[in-house]
Amino acid sequence: MAKYTFTNSEKEQIKLAVKELETVSCGEIVPYFVNSSDDYAEASWYTAGIFSGIAALLTAVLSYLWLLPVRMTPLEVSLVILGALVLGFLIPLIFPKTKRLIISSDRQRERVNQRALQAFMEEKVFETEERVGILIFISRLEHQVMVLGDEGISKKLSPDDWQHVVEEVVQGIKSNQIADGLVKSIALCKELLLKHGFVRKSTDYNELDDGLRVED
């Protein structure tokens, strides 16, 4: 899976969407993007085991039924199994998108959750004066998005309130229009914040950078 690269124009659109939100709301949005929340190295070993197992089973069955096209020595059988193992190991490395099919959804959710919490801490989303920071965390490979609100936000909004925001970004990932989905999701955040009374006051100031964070 080739890395997704945001153009300067897309980054500026996202930054402008954040600024527009913070012009009318006291919330502070931090958009954060990663191509993957983990390298999922175990995926290669899973496919290696499956491929080598199938090769061994198939060779044994064909040999037992006398259906092998050529007579094979034990060394040749071992080489076939080894070749299948190597092929299986390489597939997730050559085609990273297959990792999403190989790794369990629970494992993917666990890693995305861990990376989102790590980003929340690293970006100091919790350090706004009124605890109104919000992280929109996008993990492209897994097609997963997490919206984490700080204490002040969470008092009035539940995780369920962010569902439409999440869906908007996920749709952008699936259509390879991530920037567009993110801009729309930030606009939805603005509506949610205003609806729940998070209105900008004259004493409010910009506490967190408005730009998109991208992890290479």
Q: pLDDT tens across 78-97, in order?
A: 999 999 999 999 999 999 99
Cα–Cα distance, 155 to 109 (Å, whole number): 24
CB 48, CB 92: distance < 8 Å: no
Same domain, 200 and 172: yes
Whether residue 98 is contained in a domain is answered as yes
* Domain boundary, last residue among 85, 102, 119: 102
* pLDDT grade for 1, boundaries at 50, 70 and 90: low
Cα–Cα distance, 158 to 42 (Å, whole number): 34
Same domain, 114 and 151: yes
Residue 164 has pLDDT above 70, yes or no: yes
Same domain, 130 and 94: no
* Domain boundary, last residue among 50, 80, 102: 102
Whether residue 3 is contained in a domain is answered as no
Q: What is the pLDDT of residues 175-187, one digit of tens each?
A: 889 999 999 999 9
Mean pLDDT of 44-62: 93
Same domain, 93 and 152: no
Same domain, 61 and 72: yes
Dump strand ranges (E) for the chain. 28-34, 133-139, 144-149, 213-215
pLDDT at 67 (0 to 100): 78
Residue 68 has pLDDT above 80, yes or no: no
Residue where the block lists tokens 């100031």 = 205
The mean of the pLDDT values for the chain is: 92
Which token pair is 32? 């954060």
Residue 159 has pLDDT above 70, yes or no: yes
Same domain, 93 and 108: no
CA neighbor of 212 nearest in space, from 135, 154, 153, 141: 135
Alpha-carbon distances, residue 41 vs 90, 94, 113, 140, 184 (angstroms): 11, 13, 18, 17, 34
Same domain, 113 and 27: yes
Same domain, 32 and 85: no
Whether residue 1 is contained in a domain is answered as no
How distant is the alpha carbon of residue 67 from its chain centre? 46
* Domain boundary, last residue among 86, 102, 118: 102
Question: Which residue would you say has higher pLDDT here, 152 or 76?
Answer: 152
Same domain, 31 and 110: yes
Residue 128 has pLDDT above 70, yes or no: yes
How large a percentage of the chain has pLDDT more than 90?
78
Cα–Cα distance, 87 to 55 (Å, whole number): 11
How large a percentage of the chain has pLDDT more than 70?
99
Mean pLDDT of 167-173: 90
CB 21, CB 185: distance < 8 Å: no
**Which domain does 166 fall in, by range?**
8-38+104-215
Whether residue 132 is contained in a domain is answered as yes
Mean pLDDT of 124-133: 93
Which token pair is 102? 């190989």
Residue 18 has pLDDT above 90, yes or no: yes
Cα–Cα distance, 193 to 73 (Å, whole number): 71
Cα–Cα distance, 51 to 88 (Å, whole number): 5
Number of structural domains (the chain) is 2
Same domain, 72 and 113: no
**Does residue 148 sit in helix, strand or coil?**
strand
Same domain, 171 and 73: no
Cα–Cα distance, 160 to 211 (Å, whole number): 26
Whether residue 196 is contained in a domain is answered as yes
Whether residue 2 is contained in a domain is answered as no
Same domain, 111 and 165: yes
Cα–Cα distance, 189 to 18 (Å, whole number): 10
Provide the CATH number for the domain around residue 111.
Answer: 3.10.310.50
First and final CA of the chain: distance in angstroms? 13
